[in-house]
Chains A and B, each alone.
Chain A
């Protein structure tokens, strides 16, 4: 083993320590949402006690205790800052996280395993906001998210329409000629199918794009690369072999920002949901109301509740304060069941 190899190991360990510290700070911020006040001396005592008793051969308890006192101090400092916390599905580096950052780079992003966790986290007040993808130009509707939206009490307070540019990422220093397998979410693999076949690369499905990047960085499997976003390359110290490898550059995803509260200011776009009677022409007569008022519909989606029973989503251009919109919605409500305005919000369109 050479000094260079040892130093490479040290660099890898350092980056893992930093990632874990970041995770710990995140948990501190979440705990703060449920505590009465930031400082909890009893809890601090417990933490330091556990650290003292957990001493490894080289990390003596005196050292560990000092280190954790510093960690606790910084964690408390962060908690005083009233940071705005947004939950997203996926691991750090996911496209949802990129969407949050492009919406407001000061929002703190916390990863969740499932979409349901995002909704529940916002509902319970642990997260100030949640972000979820609703539709992709190539992949279509994100089914599970739309199902959750029908039954949610949360409000849509913003939308982000963002281009999705996939990158081929590899462990720095890998010889591109050795790459045989490419890990990523099956959607991302499908969107880069022609690129993969041109370069004779085997797609290997993984649960998440950023998760694949994390795995690649940690396990460094031989002859492997992954498809993920630029943010993932940055977070996991991976080298971007090639940018924009998607087969079509019209690849875009629309995300919704959810909150327990209504938006402070009204926007120019609305989302409603409703069900209609299972009878000829019922949906048509609702849509006709919008047509005759000259309101432009931007999305219609149907979600099956049970056989023969559908919920519909309608997105349209307009403000909830506009008399024309108010009148149309009043009429629509009378003709439908389960009618709900999910939100009137502004949509941020990111070019590129």
Chain B
């Protein structure tokens, strides 16, 4: 691809590794889980405990929510960030949270370990430039109408401002299919791996929008070689103020985690090792 100077995988094959606490994104298999939105202190802290107990490695939750309708729940703002800080204090899980306004970038950095740029803001260039100057890693979601090339150009914006720590996130795109909320484009995982040195995680919660499909698509993402997953978990999904149909409850999350870790272990041990040693899979 043309003019992708910074995100492109070079001949040396050196891949980006991002160290956050004890976890290295791009090396360890990372599950980032939490509610769509920070709705209250109780809901958030309970969900964080459930994520920790279920084996999640990072905690996500939106304090600033970009919503389709201006009348929908817009998030708790700064108060939400303080609740996330408390969740981190209680569980030790690093925090991933979305920033939607360039004026908030420095403030969100004070509370978050990873800044998330949501699908709706993927091509918000002033926001990309601002997070490009930040000293925190950025999780860049794919826009719902964006091609791979457009997506990578947005990552290029962030790197060009001097922030090398970008994680891409496939979260599904709009197609003519209406059964699912979006069409989860898992072919992006190996495509990103062959074109760029950046880690990629997959968000099957938005990618399908259907609780019944999340488990299988999560496993498929691991099989495709994703560096991690972004999962929506809510301590009580039916009471959620947003994305009520696609948030796992704590039991579903814990059960899925077990399967994900098993599959990941199997792939690491049996498939990648065997490709080096000559193969014992036959």
Contacts and interface: CB of A to CB of B under 8 A. Distances in A.
Contact of A177 (B82, B104, B109, B111): B104
A198 B78 contact: no
B103 A199 contact: no
B22 interface: no
Given A176-B78, A241-B78, A198 B109 contact: yes
A324 interface: no
A321 interface: no
Contacts of B85: 243
B153 interface: no
Given A176-B78, A241-B78, A199 B104 contact: no
Contact of B107 (A199, A240, A243): A199
Interface string B11-43: 000000000000000000000000000000000
Interface string B99-117: 0010110110111000000
B272 to A, nearest CB: 41
A2 to B, nearest CB: 23
A127 B71 CA distance: 58
B76 to A, nearest CB: 13
A240 B106 CA distance: 17
Contact of B106 (A198, A241, A243, A245): A198
Contacts of A242: 82, 110-111
Interface in A159-209: 176-177, 195, 198-200
Contacts of A240: 82
B104 to A, nearest CB: 7
Interface in A319-347: none
A242 B135 CA distance: 18
Nearest to A201: B106
Nearest to B110: A242
Given A177-B103, A177-B104, A199 B110 contact: yes
A198 B106 CA distance: 7
A240 B85 CA distance: 13
Interface residues of A, number: 11
B106 A200 contact: yes
Interface in B33-78: 78
A266 to B, nearest CB: 39
Nearest to A198: B106
Interface in A191-235: 195, 198-200
Contacts of B104: 177
A240 B111 CA distance: 13
B222 to A, nearest CB: 37
Nearest to B81: A242
A243 B89 CA distance: 12
Contacts of A243: 85
Contacts of A177: 101, 103-104
B127 to A, nearest CB: 14
Interface string A235-250: 0000011110100000
A263 B24 CA distance: 55
Contacts of B107: 176, 199
Nearest to B135: A198
A230 B74 CA distance: 29
Contacts of A195: 110
A242 B111 CA distance: 9
Contact of A199 (B78, B101, B106): B106
A43 to B, nearest CB: 49
A241 B82 CA distance: 8
A234 to B, nearest CB: 16
Contacts of A176: 78, 107
A133 B140 CA distance: 48
A242 B109 CA distance: 12
Contacts of A199: 106-107, 110
A263 to B, nearest CB: 37
A290 to B, nearest CB: 42
B17 to A, nearest CB: 24
Interface of A: 176-177, 195, 198-200, 240-243, 245
Interface of B: 78, 82, 85, 101, 103-104, 106-107, 109-111, 135
4 cross-chain pairs, A with B, having the tightest CB-CB distances, nearest first:
A177-B103, A199-B106, A176-B78, A242-B110
13 contacts: A176-B78, A176-B107, A177-B101, A195-B110, A198-B106, A198-B109, A198-B110, A199-B107, A199-B110, A200-B106, A240-B82, A242-B110, A245-B110
Given A177-B103, A199-B110, A240-B82, 7 more contacts: A176-B78, A195-B110, A198-B106, A199-B107, A242-B82, A242-B111, A245-B110
